[in-house]
Copies of this chain bind each other. A is one copy, B any other.
């Protein structure tokens, strides 16, 4: 059930089998599998997964290519709730390992928040990442286009940009190197530093050799209408026409709540085994937070793997569970 401030006190004494942090594709898929394994599950979601912002999933098997990311999340949440899983809109602040269980501290609500603690045997970290965006004076101008033709994922949207005039918006020298795989799809590439960092001679030479243009001016705003970005206006008032953009500025990893637990990371990503178990035997990581490709269909598969391995663990301990789990 959807938990609210009014109903969640029915659940705070319960020890869940699995608490899933994050209600994106990975967390919802895990929740569907877990409830079908008759495990008691709570998904805690802070809202607006990365895929929520995707206007069209072009590569998810079984769905028409114009399906919005939020439609997958809506269907997944309905599916999960139909299996009687618990779902709470809240923010997970801290996870404390108590040995057999975890205590999970959450903040509920924004303006007048309340605080609760849930208990669970297993934890699935499905809280994902969110892309850093260009910081312009008017951020609404960025949000108007991000997820439409101002892309954040080359693997997802390289095809959409084929033979287009594409602007790459980076945050460092390294981040601009995405231009080379983008060059598979289009030769018409302009690299924007937004005046925020220097580009060394070596990379400058490689861009020139590939025929890419380097633009080091500060950006004033994106141009366009109806969520279709058509170019960039620079601080000096000049314009650059574009058909699409690719933001390559890194990501924020939503994993602060795990700081108190010793886990293996590679960069910001959690390292897992093939069944998505982290270096902690009762913590699994799925979706964009773990090492691997950031794709919705892979996140969904991660959820299936993690849920199945947790079921195997619990089943091997308990043997059977013939009556539904009581709250």
Contacts and interface: CB of A to CB of B under 8 A. Distances in A.
Contact of A159 (B29, B37, B181): B37
Interface in A178-200: 181, 183-187
B72 A61 contact: yes
A36 interface: yes
B320 A184 contact: yes
A82 B65 CA distance: 10
A276 B36 CA distance: 27
B159 A62 contact: no
Contact of A158 (B36, B64, B162, B186): B36
Contacts of A184: 37-38, 311, 315, 319-321
A142 to B, nearest CB: 26
Interface string A19-45: 000000100110011011110000000
Given A61-B72, A72-B62, A308-B155, A297 B300 contact: yes
A320 to B, nearest CB: 5
A76 to B, nearest CB: 5
Question: How many chain copies?
Answer: 2
A217 interface: no
Interface string A198-218: 000000000000000000000
Given A62-B76, A184-B320, A293-B305, A158 B37 contact: yes
Contact of A59 (B33, B155, B315): B33
A63 to B, nearest CB: 6
A304 interface: yes
Contacts of A38: 159, 162, 184-185
A186 B320 CA distance: 8
9 contacts: A25-B61, A32-B59, A61-B75, A62-B62, A62-B63, A63-B75, A183-B319, A186-B322, A301-B302
Interface of A: 25, 28-29, 32-33, 35-38, 58-65, 67, 71-72, 75-76, 79, 82, 155, 158-159, 162-163, 181, 183-187, 274, 292-293, 295, 297-298, 300-305, 308, 311, 315, 319-322
